[in-house]
Amino acid sequence: MEFVEPLRTQEELDAMNYYFKNRSERDYLLFYMGINVAFRISDLLGLKVGDVRGRDKVRRREMKTGKLREMIILPKLKRVLEEYCTDKEDEEYLFKSTRYKNSNRPITRTQAYRILKTGARECGIKNIGTHSFRKTFGYHFYKESKDVVTLMKLFNHHDPSITLRYIGIERDEMSKAVKKWGGL
């Protein structure tokens, strides 16, 4: 399995936002929501319009752990969701497949991966996968707050070192230390 990275720089985030905004409303929401709620892709894809319309929080029982997760819908994401959901029914999947006409099915994990990989390739970004959504959220949350304990709880990790390794902080710090050392 390929090791995927978070989007670390504002330039990467801006490039991906621009790409998806100009590609499709659904794909933009998938990207934007993915980096702002830190749900696993399987949990994101199961969301319906009624799960988010007019709400301040999104709740989901995690498919992997069975635990109930709740994330705040931040104001900018709330505006994006309101606009996206305007002409949709509560029972429609947020990330509805266009493959099956007249059918209410979400896109598959594989299709979500393809969408993200295509965007990353177009933006010149490597080592991206659907876990990059959660990792990007975690990376930027940690860089801003330095609060590994809250992040660990959000991700349902049992140890801060697992969380730091997962979001790529451990690798960043090792690289920084080697560069600082300078060699022999």
Distance separating alpha carbons of residues 152 and 164, to the nearest angstrom: 9
What's the pLDDT at 172?
Answer: 75
pLDDT tens-digit readout, 14-46: 999 999 999 999 999 999 999 999 999 999 999
Is position 40 annotated as part of the catalytic site?
A: yes
pLDDT tens digit string along 100-136? 778 899 999 999 999 999 999 999 999 999 999 999 9
From the list 19, 84, 142, 166, the catalytic residue is 166
pTM for the predicted model, two decimal places: 0.91
CB atoms within 10 A of CB 123: 19
d(CA 69, CA 84): 23
Q: Is 158 noted as a catalytic residue in this protein?
A: no
The catalytic position among 26, 40, 48, 135 is: 40
Whether 117 is catalytic: no
Residue of 131, 135, 139, 140 marked active site: 131
Tokens representing residue 150 in the block: 């809250």
66 closest CA partner among 43, 41, 94, 45: 43
Residue with tokens 């876990």: 131
Interatomic CA distance for residues 44 and 20, integer angstroms = 17
**What are residue 70's DSSP bridge partners?**
59
Give catalytic status of residue 131 as yes or no: yes
| 165 catalytic residue (yes or no) | no
User: How far, in Å, CA of 5 to CA of 56, rounded?
Assistant: 29
Which one from 48, 134, 135, 140 is the annotated catalytic residue? Answer: 134
Q: Out of 64, 158, 179, 180, which one is annotated catalytic?
A: 64
| Residue 140 annotated as catalytic | no
What's at 6, amino acid-wise?
P
**CA dist., res. 28 & res. 20, Å (int):** 5
pLDDT at position 2: 64
Contacts of 59 (CB under 8 A, 6+ apart): 51, 68, 69, 70
